[in-house]
Amino acid sequence: MTIASSIPVNARTKTKVGRPRSGTATERHARLLEQSLNLLMTEGVAHTSMARIATYCGVSTRTLYARYTDKYALLIAGMQHMMEQDVLVMESLGHLQAQSLHQMLTNIGRFILSRVLEPKMLSFFKIGLTEVAHFPQIAREMKAVGPERVFQLLAERLSAYADKGELPILNFNQAAESYCELLIAGPRMKALFGGLPADWDREAHLHFTVSLFLNGITGMKADHAQA
């Protein structure tokens, strides 16, 4: 059984989630996921117990275990919720469908870069580097509900531009992942271990990445683009 499959399918429909009692059941559950993920991202999964999470969120451990088998299932659910919210934001960035390819990549890239470089996200990534080595299944589950959801959104948008003849027929998932790696890999590693230079220009990096990516894929021949 995978971690994701251990998450109750009716988790969002239950009405009792403990304190706080304000808001609808869906709102309370969303708040529970957000608070849980915040704690796990701050203190690390290995050092956080279900009892600690329950206390932090103001609910009982019984409430948590009624929904999730363990803290790893709760982590995956929290990440999935966070990514759903992020995707909604990205989808609403100035009506992506009506934007030029360059504008679309710039707007999505700006949001992704800002999120990845948030101190909390950097801390969580550093924690993950240590912990997923011992729990490879966790890494696969986290990738499925995290980065791959972003890749999917971006691949769908790239495909739409190909339909309009503005791009060659690509392996769109690979292209989306490549764009994100170009965008975030360098800045994130520097921020994690060396510190970004004081004069680092986020917008300049974003526009350089967009130009590099577009010049690369628009010049690809069809046989190479689909490889």
Report pLDDT for 129. 72
Report pLDDT for 221. 57
pLDDT (average), residues 149-171? 89
Report pLDDT for 132. 66
Q: Within 10 Å of residue 100's Cβ, how many Cβ atoms?
A: 10
Give the Cα separation of 108 and 77 in Å (integer): 24
**Domain 1-80 part of CATH 1.10.1200.10:** no
Q: How many residues does the chain have?
A: 227
Q: Give this prediction's pTM.
A: 0.75
pLDDT (average), residues 56-67? 93
Give the Cα separation of 61 and 169 in Å (integer): 51
Biggest CA pair distance of the chain: 59
The percentage of the chain sitting over the pLDDT mark of 70, rounded to a whole number, equals 81
CATH T-level fold of 93-227: Tetracycline Repressor; domain 2 (1.10.357)
Better-scored residue on pLDDT, 126 or 81:
81
Say whether 196 sits in a helix, a strand or coil.
coil
pLDDT (average), residues 45-71? 92
Domain boundaries, the chain: 1-80, 93-227
Q: Pick the closest to residue 125 from 3, 68, 40, 205 (CA basis).
A: 40
- Expressed in percent and rounded to 5, the helix, strand and coil fractions of the chain are 70, 0, 30
The two domains 1-80 and 93-227 share their CATH topology (first three levels equal): no
Report pLDDT for 75. 86
Give the Cα separation of 52 and 74 in Å (integer): 13
pLDDT band at 83 (very low <50, low <70, confident <90, very high): confident
Give the Cα separation of 141 and 102 in Å (integer): 31
Report pLDDT for 36. 93
Give the Cα separation of 158 and 161 in Å (integer): 5
pLDDT (average), residues 48-73? 93
Residue 61 has pLDDT above 50, yes or no: yes
Give the Cα separation of 122 and 93 in Å (integer): 24
Which of 15-24, 59-68, 176-185 is predicted least confidently?
Answer: 15-24
Radius of gyration of the chain (CA): 20
Better-scored residue on pLDDT, 96 or 43:
43
Q: pLDDT for 111-134, tens place per residue?
A: 999 999 988 888 778 776 776 666
Q: pLDDT for 14-57, tens place per residue?
A: 333 344 445 788 898 999 999 998 998 888 888 899 999 999 99
Average pLDDT of every residue of the chain: 81
